[in-house]
Each structure stands twice: as C-alpha cells, then as structure tokens.
C-alpha cells in the first residue's frame, strides 16, 4: 500500500513509498484512510527537526490528524463497517506513570509516551491503517471530510478545559477571550469559545483576508498588529503562535486573575521583548497563571467531537483551504500564505 514516510531527523527523506499492509497486532480495527490533515508538527518532522521512528525501524509513517472508514471492525469494537472514525494520537507510557495509569496520557510524567505519526508509532498517512478499538473515535457521519478537524479540535478542547479548571481557583466570570494566531487551532479555539458564549478576539499578523472573515463570521473581533496595543485586558488568552514576543506581550496584557494558556510550539526567535523579571512581576502582582497545554485524552476527544458536530458546516469547510493528493505530498508540506488547513485526501469520502 502507498504511504508517506520519513526517516526522522534526516532532511530530505520524505517520500511516497509502497510498504506492507498493517498487521492485526497493530489493532483489530482495519480502516481505509480518507484524509489526513497536515500541521506544523508534520512539517517539522519532514524537515528533520522532530520525530522518532518505531524502535528497530528506519522510517516513520507520517500523519496524526486522521479520518478513515472502517473496513473491518474486528470482533469487539462496537463499530460497524463504513463507520467514519478518527484515531487518537497518543498512547500511554508502558511504566505507566500515575497519569498514564488513569488514562491521562496527555499529562504523561516520564515522557515515555508514544504518538502516532510523531513518536515511535506509525501514523495515518497510508492507504490502510489499523487501530485498537479503545483509541478509535466515531465521527458524526454528517461531518464527512470535516471529521479530519477532530484532532486539532481535541487539542483545543483540552486547552479550554485547562483554562476553565484553573479559573475555578477563585471567583471567576470570564467574559473576554483572546486567541493569538489564526491558524486551525486558533480558529477552532475561537469557535468553541463562542459556543461557550465568550466575547472572542483573535489576533494574527495578517491584516485581513479569509482568516479575518472567518473570525467576523463567528461574531468575533479580528485584530492585526501587536498584543501590547490592544485596548482591553482579556480574562484568558489561548496563545497559538509560539512566538516569543507574542507570548511576552500576552503575559503582560492579561487581566487580573487571568490565565494565559500556551498551546503553540515555537523555537528560538529573538527572545522576549521585555525583561523576564518584568514579565514575571506582572504575573505575580495580578495573580496570573501561565499554563502549557499539549495533546488530549479521551475526555477531550469526546468533547471535541460534540463541539464539531454542533458547529456550522460551511464555516468549518472554509478552514480546509487546500486538498492535495498523496502524490503531491511535497506541496502539502509546504506552507503557503493563504493556507489554514491543508489536507491530503487518500480516498473518496
Ligand atoms: C499534536 C499533539 C502532540 C504534539 C507533540 C502536536 O502537533 O497535535 O497530539 O502531542 O504535537 O508531539
């Protein structure tokens, strides 16, 4: 079968290759791939900066934002042939650490977790894949191709849950949420926060265009420019850029008792625009919490699937700005200015 593979940490090794079909030991549910979303993590892996092959193997099948149709549900999954499913990304560490032991693999303590398409388990960019029944999430059939947005939605559902849990440490009635970065995660965060009834603001470096339109269609306010110039203090910020300056300004802009949730993974850059002690003292004096959030457990996947099912389909469809064939994987892995979510389609929905 065709698969998009990479030799992790080696540049220029991504390729479409024929590999053998997955073995039943990889999961009793056999799935035909429909589509796989591409995100910054895939690009990093393709550039040789991140990623790990399964132990004893040279290559990793890429892809962690899946969508597929069940070919064979196996003996005990409760799924039916032709059900639309998405695969959970992370697996608990084998020790297991206390968090993995209770199903919170997203909070793994020892870093020995594995992740499909990222860390030591093959991903979903192959014509067929297998999954363990307990890691297959059934998708509302009316979502169709939009089911491919479930993985980034699960990441958002966790980040928002974290903010809600932390907020409850004191009397808290959040009204205003700022999202920095209008990529898929940022826009999905804006969508879900609107479902919560918050006043949503989204800031991105582009001045207008489809991202700004999407925010306005939600009833949110779009800003370009810098966080420090905003004329209000948000109750919570979901930071999706991973850019040092945006992070530093977010911490200084957040309102008293407010929470900055860091959900973007960035590297390097020119450092904080402000002195770290000044950033810290503003957090101390205003009881702020700065929290990192990565990945998602089953609770978040469930919640994300509920939010997606409630969302406006035509709005969600505009998040998918490019659909590529597996043969055009190099194009799919290249970021273009108007991209929001690029999807590689393996078969008809
Ligand atoms: C994925 C997460 C994963 C993280 C770190 C992200 O792109 O969405 O599921 O935990 O990368 O590997």
Category of 181 on φ-ψ map: left (φ > 0), alpha (ψ -120 to 50) or beta: left
Closest C-alpha among 101, 88, 116 to residue 297: 88
Which residue's alpha carbon is nearest to atom 1 within ligand 1? 295
Task: Please tell me the distance between residue 39's alpha carbon and the centre of ligand 1 in angstroms.
Answer: 9
What DSSP string describes 108-138?
Answer: -SSS--EEETTBEE--S-BSEEEE-GGGEEE
Task: Please tell me the distance between residue 275's alpha carbon and the centre of ligand 1 in angstroms.
Answer: 30
Q: What lines the ligand 1 site, CB under 6 Å? A: 39, 41, 64, 89-90, 115, 118, 155, 294-295
The predicted pLDDT at position 154 comes to 98
Element at 67 (helix H, strand E): strand 65-72
Q: With a cut of 70, list the residues of the chain below it in pLDDT.
A: 270-274
| Ligand 1 atom with minimal separation from the 296 CA | 9
Task: Please tell me the distance between residue 90's alpha carbon and the centre of ligand 1 in angstroms.
Answer: 8
Category of 276 on φ-ψ map: left (φ > 0), alpha (ψ -120 to 50) or beta: alpha
Cα 128 off chain centre by: 22
Structure tokens at 341: 């979510």
Q: Tokens 């549900």 map to which residue?
A: 73
Task: Please tell me the distance between residue 48's alpha carbon and the centre of ligand 1 in angstroms.
Answer: 16
| Whole-number Å distance between alpha carbons of 297 and 289 | 22
Element at 226 (helix H, strand E): none
* CB contact set of 52 (below 8 Å; sequence gap of 6+): 8, 60, 118, 119, 120
Task: Please tell me the distance between residue 333's alpha carbon and the centre of ligand 1 in angstroms.
Answer: 16
Which residue's alpha carbon is nearest to atom 10 within ligand 1? 295
The predicted pLDDT at position 278 comes to 86
Which residue's alpha carbon is nearest to atom 11 within ligand 1? 41
DSSP β-ladder status, 136-138 and 84-87: antiparallel
Which residue's alpha carbon is nearest to atom 4 within ligand 1? 295
Which residue's alpha carbon is nearest to atom 3 within ligand 1? 295
| Whole-number Å distance between alpha carbons of 224 and 117 | 34
Task: Please tell me the distance between residue 153's alpha carbon and the centre of ligand 1 in angstroms.
Answer: 12
The predicted pLDDT at position 271 comes to 57
Task: Please tell me the distance between residue 118's alpha carbon and the centre of ligand 1 in angstroms.
Answer: 8
Task: Please tell me the distance between residue 41's alpha carbon and the centre of ligand 1 in angstroms.
Answer: 7
The predicted pLDDT at position 267 comes to 79
User: pTM for this structure?
Assistant: 0.96
Task: Please tell me the distance between residue 190's alpha carbon and the centre of ligand 1 in angstroms.
Answer: 20
| Ligand 1 atom with minimal separation from the 39 CA | 7
Element at 224 (helix H, strand E): strand 221-224
Which residue's alpha carbon is nearest to atom 12 within ligand 1? 118
**8 A C-beta contact, residue 148 and residue 37:** yes
- Indicate the top mutation candidate among 124, 294, 341 to test ligand 1's pocket, ranked by most ligand atoms within 8 A of CB: 294
| Ligand 1 atom with minimal separation from the 155 CA | 8
**DSSP-H helix ranges across the chain:** 40-46, 98-101, 150-167, 184-195, 210-218, 244-253, 276-285, 298-310, 313-317, 329-332
The predicted pLDDT at position 279 comes to 84
The predicted pLDDT at position 149 comes to 98
């Amino acid at each position: 079968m065709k698969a998009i593979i990479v030799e992790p940490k080696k540049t220029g090794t991504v390729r479409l290759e024929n590999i053998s079909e997955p073995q039943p030991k990889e999961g009793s549910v056999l799935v035909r791939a429909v589509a796989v979303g591409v995100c910054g993590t895939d690009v990093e892996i393709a550039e040789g900066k991140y990623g790990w092959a399964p132990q004893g193997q040279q290559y990793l099948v890429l892809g962690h934002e899946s969508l597929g149709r069940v070919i064979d549900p196996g003996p005990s999954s409760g799924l039916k042939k032709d059900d639309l499913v998405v695969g959970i990304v992370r697996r608990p560490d084998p020790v297991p650490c206390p968090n993995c032991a209770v199903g919170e693999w997203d909070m793994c303590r020892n870093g020995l977790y594995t992740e499909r398409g990222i860390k030591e388990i093959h991903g979903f960019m192959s014509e067929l894949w297998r999954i363990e029944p307990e890691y297959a999430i059934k998708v509302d059939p009316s979502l169709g191709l939009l089911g491919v947005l479930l993985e980034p939605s699960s990441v958002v559902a966790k980040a928002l849950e974290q903010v809600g849990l932390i907020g409850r440490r004191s009397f808290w009635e959040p009204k205003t949420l700022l999202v920095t970065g209008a990529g898929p995660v940022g826009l999905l965060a804006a969508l879900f926060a609107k479902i919560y009834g918050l006043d949503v603001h989204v800031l991105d470096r582009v001045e207008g265009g489809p991202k700004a339109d999407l925010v306005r269609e939600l009833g949110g306010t779009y800003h370009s420019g810098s966080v420090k110039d905003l004329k209000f203090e948000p109750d919570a910020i979901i930071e999706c850029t991973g850019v040092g300056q945006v992070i530093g300004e977010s911490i200084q802009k957040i309102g008293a008792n407010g929470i900055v949730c860091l959900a973007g993974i960035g590297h390097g850059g020119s450092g904080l625009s402000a002195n770290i002690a000044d950033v810290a003292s503003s957090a101390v004096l205003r009881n702020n919490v700065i929290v990192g959030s990565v990945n998602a457990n089953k609770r978040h996947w469930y919640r994300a699937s509920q939010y997606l099912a409630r969302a406006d389909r035509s709005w969600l469809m505009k998040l998918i700005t490019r659909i590529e064939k597996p043969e055009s994987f190099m194009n799919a892995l290249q970021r273009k200015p108007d991209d929001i979510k690029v999807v590689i389609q393996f078969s008809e929905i």
